[in-house]
A and B are shown apart, each in its own frame.
Chain A
């Protein structure tokens, strides 16, 4: 048995890895919960993702989706997109407060990164969590 999905994350042209930094800065509870949500999604067909751990986004975030979990007293929202048949790339690690993204320009940041990734796969790296 292997994971259905491979996960990647965004790497800036200057080598900055703010997605990974957000994870590393988090508590051990955040790390355990994130690993759990990724492992959970990795086992499911994409049409089954829309459930307890993921939400497809709309309007200015159209084409994107968020992994949803609460850790360190904050709603964590790693935002990404389906970058391949069985591949999901996390573009930006946002938080949510009062039904609004923090930072507020999360969708604009993620959409710009999505365009970058679509034209240059070198802007991503394999997620640090090994699933298979």
Chain B
């Protein structure tokens, strides 16, 4: 396995042909979108049918069925934004480094995948908790620096 990559060297080498590689990337993204939409729709606290998601998006059930078909390759960014909005979730699109991409595709959406819709109160609590962790980290960093500085001073004193 190449250093830092979750896939074997041989696996990555099989993708050295550009046309194969391009299709591999496209298929992984199509699979991911299809599986993610299905997982979020079936998430226990939603348990939406395809029709229910369709209602939220103002589209017929047949459109949702197509979105959950990884062989349907004509998904637009606008449709993705509409899907995310229907779940009250944000959307993130990126063009990453290959090494990062290979790491990302190891995280396959499954029935265990859950995402929480926008909740201002919950988000505020999470932000507060994150701030506390950052403050604690800052405190530890400053304390460690002060300790190191004291030790350095003693070493200098002993050395002189």
Contacts and interface: CB of A to CB of B under 8 A. Distances in A.
Say if A and B assemble together: yes
Interface of A: 1, 28-29, 31-33, 35-37, 39-40, 43-45, 48, 51-53, 68-70, 75, 129-132
B27 A31 contact: no
A102 to B, nearest CB: 17
A37 B108 CA distance: 12
A78 B95 CA distance: 32
Q: By DSSP majority rule, is chain B's interface helix, strand, loop, or mixed?
A: helix
Contacts of B48: none
Given A36-B23, A130-B10, A130-B11, A51 B35 contact: yes
Contacts, number: 80
Interface of B: 1, 6-8, 10-11, 14-15, 17, 19-24, 26-28, 31, 34-35, 38, 68-71, 105-106, 108, 110-111
B31 A37 contact: yes
A32 B31 contact: no
B20 A35 contact: yes
Given A52-B70, A130-B8, 13 more contacts: A28-B23, A29-B20, A31-B20, A32-B15, A32-B23, A35-B20, A35-B24, A36-B27, A36-B31, A40-B31, A44-B110, A129-B14, A130-B10
